[in-house]
Structure 1
Amino acid sequence: MNITIVGIGLIGGSIGIRLKETQFGEKIIGVEKNEANAKKALQLGLVDEIQPLDDAIASSKIIILTVPVDAIMNILPNILDKVTDQVVIDMGSTKTNILRLIADHPNRGRYIAAHPMAGTEYSGPEAAIPNLYKDKVMVYVEAFKTDEDAFERADAMTEQLEMKTTFMTAEEHDMHTAYVSHISHLTSFALALTVLEKEKSQGRIFELAGSGFESTVRLAKSSPDMWTPIFKQNRDNVLEVLEEHIKQLQKLYTKLDKEDYDGLHKLIKKSNKIKRIIK
């Protein structure tokens, strides 16, 4: 069984590494429009060969889409037009618009929407790492609309990645990811912009940057080519969580501005309740 990975960066490349380790497929085929990335993916052994998309579809049983969500929107209908018994797995970070796009496609049953809740702030083939997915969660979205044999094939691959699984609707998925993933990136981007703006007049500011700053701002190194489409596709949910985030920042600002340190202490203590969720 050949497996095709469309987009060989952090997500796709890390899948390639693991599937080659476990010998889950006979051949791992890469589809990559960036020639430099395609060459690097071959050099790093992330895939066995590079093929054009149409050739890869014809020669594979599993087709994994790990390109940005706007690219998935562009190529998914065409891929579904060409499949027969293949399984197409979309691993994008938003789902509602994608699922709406192909809802009435005659080959809808050969498609499964999945989202591996794993990643780093790096991108490109060099960012791919072994065990990126180990013990992380794979979210299946509206899996009940996928043919049984197609789901079983996809889930067998998820087992090779050593992932846990959960099931959601598209609306649940996009709302939850806005709160636990998308807002984290927006906050990091904003903090980076804040400090970079200050650095223009205070050039030595980064001399004091320690591990706390580094851990908070590291997501600002994430690719704008990936994250701008995510914010676009999940705009309503991201705006909702961003509005709430701004409200909480305003509360902290007001307490400090009014020198209400008891109130500030209470807000910080309330925030500590997150320890019940994140160990």
Structure 2
Amino acid sequence: MFNTVTIVGVGLISGSFSLALKEKGLAKKVIGVSRTAASAQKALELGLIDEALPLEQAIAQSDLIYVAIPVDVTIPVMKQVMDLVTDKQIVADAGSTKHALCLALNDHPMRRQFVATHPMWGTEYSGPEAAVRDAFVGRACVICEKEKSDPAAVEKIEQVYRALGMHIIYMDADSHDTHAAYISHISHITSFALANTVLEKEREENTIFELAGGGFESTVRLAKSNPAMWVPIFMQNRENVLDVLNEHISQLRKFKACLEKENYQYLQELIENANKIKRIIK
């Protein structure tokens, strides 16, 4: 599908994306652009990329430029990328927020070559070592502002994600950020807060290690996520995150009040209502 693909950032998402492209024969060559020489070298050693180059040299050789870096640096880097591409190249990103980026690129003369995407997958790990095979199988990929992109570019990006095992959802950028706050961003805040709660109240690390069962591990897993990635996400999606965080705090207060007032009937009702999520998530 592509002769040469450049991944800007050589971490979890881009590294997994590159592995999938290589294994499915969708790219003959993958070039990596990294902020650090150490990450680029590790990506080479792991076979995630075939060559490491500076941004301008990489873009000059590429059919597809795939940007997967923290959202606070995505906008300036994307502007650099868009200034360098031609109408024969496609640019896509994998960022967890979309409104700010789409707004920043809205009037760029090469806007139609950009496809705004968010593959809805990730782990708590980061860096090239975190890349895994078959990462995207069965997951959703959101494409935003489809109508502002060249139809041929959109079709090709859709083909790539579908070949990786994903299904496509279309949204405007604002809706994406709202739903991402509800489904993804609040989960991370909750996990960070729970980890801090346990670290504050349970001083014996050995006890945490020995007693932590599956429920605790799965709930607090996201607390291991990289702050360099998540602080910028919370900053860019601040209003939506605050909205869902206020509702979450309200729900926690209900549980607290039930215990304080020994209102166990209402506590059962709260849990039974929460059980309705089983209709959606099996």
TM interval, shorter chain, is over 0.9
Write out aligned runs for 1:137-156 (5 A).
137-156=140-159
**1:134 aligns to what SS in structure 2?**
coil
Q: What's the counterpart of residue 247 of structure 1?
A: 250
1:69 to 68, 71, 75: 71
| Offset at residue 241 of structure 1 (A) | 0.3
| Offset at residue 25 of structure 1 (A) | 1.3
| Offset at residue 203 of structure 1 (A) | 6.5
Q: Is the aligned partner of 1:164 residue 2:205?
A: no
| Offset at residue 199 of structure 1 (A) | 2.5
Report the residue type matching 2:40 in the other structure: A
Give distance in 2, aligned partners of 1:187 and 1:217.
8
Give distance in 1, aligned partners of 2:42 and 2:140.
28
Q: Is the aligned partner of 1:135 residue 2:101?
A: no
Give distance in 2, aligned partners of 1:66 and 1:193.
28
Q: What's the counterpart of residue 119 of structure 1?
A: 122
Q: What's the counterpart of residue 199 of structure 2?
A: 196
TM-score if structure 1 supplies the norm length?
0.97
Q: What's the counterpart of residue 61 of structure 2?
A: 59
Report the residue type matching 1:182 in the other structure: H
Q: Is the aligned partner of 1:182 residue 2:182?
A: no
Report the residue type matching 2:39 in the other structure: N
Q: 1:85-117: per-residue Cα shift (whole Å, max 9, x none)? A: 211101100000111111111111010100000
Aligned residues: 279
2:39 to 37, 40, 43: 37
Q: What's the counterpart of residue 8 of structure 1?
A: 10
Give distance in 2, aligned partners of 1:205 and 1:102.
47
Runs (4+) off by over 2 Å: 199-207
| Offset at residue 206 of structure 1 (A) | 3.8
**2:18 aligns to what SS in structure 1?**
helix
Write out aligned runs for 1:211-222 (5 A).
211-222=214-225
Report the residue type matching 1:30 in the other structure: G
Q: Is the aligned partner of 1:210 residue 2:217?
A: no
Q: 1:226-271: per-residue Cα shift (whole Å, max 9, x none)? A: 1111001100000000000000000100011111011111111111
Give distance in 2, aligned partners of 1:25 and 1:98.
26
Query: In the superposition, relative to structure 1, how do residues 122 and 201 fare at CA in structure 2: closer, same or farther (>3 Å)?
Result: closer
Q: Is the aligned partner of 1:256 residue 2:256?
A: no
Q: CA RMSD in A?
A: 1.2
Q: What's the counterpart of residue 98 of structure 1?
A: 101
Give distance in 2, aligned partners of 1:201 and 1:111.
51
**1:38 aligns to what SS in structure 2?**
helix
Q: What are the ranges of 5 or more consecutive residues in structure 2 without an aligned counterpart?
A: none
Q: What's the counterpart of residue 28 of structure 1?
A: 30
TM-score if structure 2 supplies the norm length?
0.96
Q: What are the ranges of 5 or more consecutive residues in structure 1 without an aligned counterpart?
A: none
| Offset at residue 142 of structure 1 (A) | 0.6
| Offset at residue 205 of structure 1 (A) | 4.1
